[in-house]
Amino acid sequence: MKGFTKTVEDFNCAHCGAVVRGNGYTNYCPHCLWSRHVDENPGDRAATCGGMMRPISVAPDGVRFVITHRCEICGKTKRQRTADDDDMDAIIKLSRNEDFLYGK
């Protein structure tokens, strides 16, 4: 990854309120799959936007999936591989575009 900085930090999800335990690679909520636009390069926390990153699609990638997020403020898109502790029901809903496209 270009300019990757491993940043281990816990956070409260700004979308669903879940407490998320970071592992240095965590950049979205494993419960609702939403993220925040805080990085220019992974882990650098250099983005000034700070907008919410809506999960807009998911695609298979070997044994995992790749989630695409789009910032609701500036429109930037980012792709992120899923992790073992992600909510599979949320991934399935996203694959059907249920609720996610309508902000529920």
For residue 99, name the pLDDT band (cuts at 50, 70, 90).
low
CA atoms within 13 A on the CB side of 75: 0
| Whether the predicted pLDDT of 103 surpasses 60 | no
| Dihedrals phi, psi of 69, to nearest 5 degrees | -110, 145
Which residue type sits at 85?
A: D
Write out the H or E segment, with its range, that includes residue 51. none
Comparing 4 with 93, which gets the higher pLDDT?
93
Q: What is the pLDDT of residues 37-92, one digit of tens each?
A: 988 888 788 888 989 999 999 999 988 999 999 999 999 999 999 999 999 999 99
pTM (2 d.p.): 0.83
Average pLDDT over residues 16-25: 88
Sequence-distant (6+) residues with CB within 8 A of 52 are 14, 15, 34, 35, 36, 37, 71, 72, 73
Question: What is the three-class DSSP state of 19?
Answer: strand
